[in-house]
Amino acid sequence: MSASDDLCFLSAVDQRQLLDAGEVSALELVDAHIDRIERYDGLLNAVVTRCFEQAREMAATKALRGPLAGLPVAHKDLVATRGLRTTYGSTLHADNIPTADAPVVARIKAAGAITLGKTNTPEFGAGSQTFNRVFGATRNPYDISRTCGGSSGGAAVALAARFMPIADGSDTGGSLRNPAAFCNVVGFRPSPGRVPSESAVTAWSGLSTPGPMARNVDDTALLFSAIVGPHDRAAGMLTEPGETFRRVTPAELRGLRVAVSDDFGGLPVQPQIREVVRVTAEKMEEAGARIVEKCPDFADATRIFHVLRAARFRARFGGLAEEEKSQLKDTIIWNTAAGEALTPADEDWANAARSALVARVAEFFRHVDVLLGPTTQVLPFDVETEWVREIEGRRMRTYIEWMQSCSWITVTCCPALSLPGGFSSGLPVGVQLVSPMRRDGFLLSVAKAVEAITGCGEIRPDLSSGPSN
């Protein structure tokens, strides 16, 4: 272990305090994180494109300003970064150098953070297993034989390995939450309309959203505060400014009405994960929360998500030339074909059914304050397995079906957060907290209170015996 690791082990908030006090320079902080990446990322493959010299040059400047000033960060390889290779995990874009930053990247830079590089993602972000034909697979730092999840898998690993204190990600069916659960970090899917997206395909649907990741709730809120707010190229954005979310006061658990479900009404979930959800509920009850075993009626959520996702894939990939399509992985080809098979009646049904689901969930939250359940349905699985085929004896028919504990929440339009909940046989288990629509600040405050009683977020992976690059 290097002496500089002590800096890397600090939270983003603590790193900012040292920077403000002049006890450490931005260059020292950047160098400490670069040193750690160079020693350990050969084992993990999280930061796949690097711009270390540019980062050092930026850190040496005196002009850093903003809430993230001086903090090292890396951007998911699905978001455009001006002058820095952005592949989307696809051989179609292996040499792509964007000329402009995505909105989320521009906001992080404007807040003073220093870019170290790009984090790995599945091909076009499709699937909760981070591997592609450009960079290969990213491995779980708690067990390198296991997957880190996805699609923000490289970001989750970089955080868990202490390569950086904050990282951006994005979420359609769990891509912030799933890897956070697998890597013992926080992944926050905000309400639709909080964070602007660069995608012309997803900007209007609310199905996908960028969001923050970090190792604790305070750091997550700090990054969130820098990326939220209206954007002149995005309609329907929520108007609360970032300062609203920058500092989180923990919610009072005494009297909090908490609905708990370890399977969201019938999903197959491994018993180790059910146990962590139940233990978390017991701890909340001991702290004074009012626990009730119930969950919303998620009828139609599976088909709603399937139709809306398939329509997005049709819009994104349906017009590609056959030669380009031949470079797509099988699951993307399948999802695109599913979109091309949709009828106008299918999409009309999905929009109406989603409206009805949103209304049912809103009614559910009239009687409870927050919902607690599993983030994932399985523990981190073998890194060589592309996707989960069976859970507790139930066959998974598609590559997205094993993620329904997240995708069902996606289509409700509610904000959701995966929080470190515990471990099973040395593997992290996340719990998912869900609040009513647009109550992002409240969700963060509840998560901070629960974080204080679960006590496992600071458990670091042991990388000391692994090889350097």
Q: Which residues are catalytic?
A: 76, 151, 175
> In angstroms, rounded to a whole number, what is the distance separating the alpha carbons of residues 231 and 228?
9
What single DSSP character describes residue 437?
A: T
> Mutual orientation of helices 344-364 and 301-317 as an angle, nearest 10°?
130
> In angstroms, rounded to a whole number, what is the distance separating the alpha carbons of residues 221 and 438?
15
Q: Is the dihedral of CA 130, 31, 83, 58 positive or negative?
A: positive
Contact criterion met (CB below 8 Å) for 204 and 194:
no
Alpha helices per DSSP H over 122-270: 153-160, 177-183, 217-227
Amino acid at 428: P
> In angstroms, rounded to a whole number, what is the distance separating the alpha carbons of residues 74 and 68?
13
- At residue 403's C-alpha, the angle toward residues 256 and 363, to 5°, is 40
Dihedral, CA atoms, 306, 307, 310, 315, nearest 10 degrees?
-150
H or E element: which one contains 353?
helix 344-364
Sheet holding 166-171, edge to edge: 47-50, 114-119, 72-76, 166-171, 209-214, 186-189, 416-424, 427-434, 370-374, 257-260, 290-293
